[in-house]
Amino acid sequence: MRDKSGGVTKIPTGIDGFDLIALGGLPANRMTLVAGTTGSGKTLFGLEFLMKGILQFDEPGVFVTFEESPSDLRKVMTAFDYDIDGKEESGEWTFIDATLTSSPQDVVVGDYDLGALIARIGAAVQSIGAKRVVLDSTGSLFSRFADTGHVRFELFRLAAALREQGTTSVLTMEIAGERNAFSRFGVEEFVADNVVVLRNILEEAKRRRTIEILKFRGAPHRTGEWLFTIVASEGFIVIPVSLLGTKELASSTRVSTGNTEVDRMCGGGFYRDSAIIVSGPTGVGKTLMAIQFIAAGVAQGECCVLFSFEESRDQLIRNAASWGFDLPMMERSGNLRIACEYPEMASLEDHFVSMKQVIEEYQPVRLAVDNLSALERVATARGLRDFIIGMTSFVKHQEITSLFTSTTRTLMGASSITEAHISAITDTIVVMRYAELAGEIRRAITLLKMRGSSHDTRVREFSIDGEGIHVGMAFGQSIGILGLAGGGESVI
């Protein structure tokens, strides 16, 4: 440790995303308290801390379990494709079973200490040369021994012993309430140096998992609550959304929108690393816009990914066929990957992770998501905003041209909830609306914003037939398709 020189050394946990918000990892050679409510992921955090330490950094670990039996924990980790047994055999992982055995509760007569536990941990650390130790979950110690002050003191001794042995440790602790309630046993008083809080909050009938670093004494870290998720085969993943988008590329290369008329409106096409949102009421032609954008990429031999959250695969293929696009053939060419998912099948965080996996696997040049508004069904406003920021930053980072569709809530005018969050971070907004003109419903299209480019700002009429979208003339008379024009002949 080098605290005196002002900097605390950190060791990377290897937990996806966590080291980013922790600005490097957990303070080395210290104990960090990971507090959380039941089911908030404390145990998994500990298990991963040890497993990643072995897999990525060659650091053996000791797991001291007070509640769940080692065999249960081995089973838990199998679900995440981690083989604890193998690591135990190779002498990199040791369990200390400190669970209450089947025997009746021990009777306490007179004074005692937790010297046995400390000695057992010490022996295990020494025998495998452990660098990481996890104690999970210490709350049960307090219920086992009535004198909480005494237990606290013993944990303090343990922390000192672990520090002396040069280990970095995680102590998990159950907290009763969601907020400001983690002093139940006064544990933070002795490991208050470093405190991480996990939360599993029910908000607007949706669960949000968050992680927050309350403090790292003498060491910097990111503040605030960060979303995280727990995914089978991946484990614990922190989603540091606003950290993903630090690189701004601002490419000036243009890519085709898939429609020469729309290309012309954009002044030559979309920018290659831009995020485009296509906004419009249901049935106006947003999905078509997305498909022609993807088809243009496939035609040029670019790898493209289409996520559909609204329509089933069959529906999507049928609709595309009616506009003259053969999606199954594009898939066979190997340049298209279609992923259809029902929003309700997973939480937003899980969708984020699975989309990220698909994108990382296929490395597409173009990406289309149809439809963001469908995700509103499984997300809170803040969750959706984080999702959109995270996704757009992530794809921009990879220089992917991304197109997202968004449904307006009313057929005429108005914007959607989604757009309120996304407009600031997208480069281009394509507005598609129905317009009522002289007693007829027509379709109108315009570009609301186009990053640093001279584009057509007029509202044009368009039509859809078996060959796709046809953009026609600008509407001659004043027409307000955004519902803001006021005074227009027919504000729609």
Catalytic positions, written as ranges: 67, 310
- Which residue among 23, 56, 79, 116 contacts other proteins (CB under 8 A)? 116
Residue 91, interface with other proteins (CB under 8 A)? no
20, 55, 76, 118: which one contacts other proteins (CB under 8 A)? 118
What is the C-alpha to C-alpha distance for residues 108 and 159, in angstroms, rounded to an integer?
24
- E runs forming strands in 192-294: 194-203, 206-216, 225-231, 235-239, 254-255, 270-271, 275-280
In whole angstroms, the minimum distance from the beta carbon of 110 to other proteins comes to 4
Can residue 301 be called a binding residue for other proteins (CB under 8 A)? no
Kindly state whether residue 106 participates in binding other proteins, applying the rule CB under 8 A.
Answer: yes
- Distance (Å, whole) CA 93 – CA 128: 8
Number of residues counted as binding other proteins (CB under 8 A): 25
Which residue do the tokens 């803001």 mark? 484
111 is a contact residue toward other proteins (CB under 8 A): yes
Kindly list the distances between the CA atom of residue 427 and the CA atoms of 169, 275, 307, 416, in Å, as whole numbers in the listed order: 45, 5, 20, 17
Residue 392: which residues within 8 A CB-CB, separation 6 or more? 245, 275, 402, 404, 422, 425, 426
Of the residues 99, 200, 453, 490, which one makes contact with other proteins according to CB under 8 A: 99
- Torsion (CA) 176, 179, 185, 190 in degrees, nearest 10: 150
Tell me the window of 36-44, 120-128, 312-320, 463-471 that interacts with other proteins (CB under 8 A). Answer: 120-128
User: Segment near other proteins (CB under 8 A), from 100-108, 180-188, 207-215, 364-372?
Assistant: 100-108
Q: Are the C-beta atoms of residues 452 and 426 closer than 8 Å to each other?
A: no
Instruction: Tell me how many degrees the CA angle 52-56-60 measures, rounded to the nearest 5.
Output: 65
* DSSP-derived secondary structure letter, 442: E
Closest approach, Cβ 69 to other proteins, in A, equals: 10
Select from 334, 340, 418 the least CA-distant residue to 373: 418
CA 412/CA 431 separation, integer angstroms: 12
Tokens of 387: 């999702």
Q: Of 57, 145, 153, 156, which lies in the binding site for other proteins, with binding defined by CB under 8 A?
A: 145
Instruction: Answer yes or no whether residue 119 interacts with other proteins by CB under 8 A.
Output: yes
Q: Is 149 in the site for other proteins (CB under 8 A)?
A: no
Candidate list 4, 6, 58, 101; residue touching other proteins; CB under 8 A? 101
Q: Applying CB under 8 A, which part among 13-21, 97-105, 336-344, 395-403 lies near other proteins?
A: 97-105
Strand bridging mode 366-370 / 460-465: unpaired
Cβ atoms 367, 402 nearer than 8 A:
yes
Near other proteins by CB under 8 A, which window of 93-101, 219-227, 324-332, 352-360? 93-101
Interface residue with other proteins, options 3, 88, 97, 341 (CB under 8 A): 97
- As given in the structure block, the two tokens for residue 381 are 């406003």
Nearer to other proteins, 115 or 166 (CB): 115
Nearest of 116, 134, 129, 126 to residue 31 by alpha carbon: 134
* Residues 172-201 within binding reach of other proteins (CB under 8 A): none
114 contacts other proteins (rule: CB under 8 A): yes
- Beta-bridged to residue 460, according to DSSP, are 445, 474
Cα–Cα distance measured from residue 157 to residue 146, given in angstroms and rounded to the nearest whole number: 18
Rounded to whole angstroms, how far apart are CA atoms 296 and 313?
Answer: 20
CB of 105 to other proteins, least distance (A): 9
- The correct pick among 78, 81, 90, 112 for binding other proteins (CB under 8 A) is 112
311 is a site residue for other proteins (CB under 8 A)? no
Question: Is 110 among the residues that bind other proteins (CB under 8 A)?
Answer: yes
Q: Do 273 and 401 touch, CB atoms closer than 8 A?
A: yes
* 107 near other proteins, rule: CB under 8 A: yes
- Minimum distance of other proteins from residue 58's CB (angstroms): 25
- The nearer residue to other proteins, 158 or 290, going by C-beta atoms, is 158
Among 103, 246, 454, 477, binds other proteins (CB under 8 A): 103
Name the residue nearer to other proteins (CB basis): 144 or 207.
144
Q: Give least dist CB 157 to other proteins, A.
A: 11
**Site residues, other proteins (CB under 8 A):** 96-99, 101, 103, 106-120, 122-124, 145
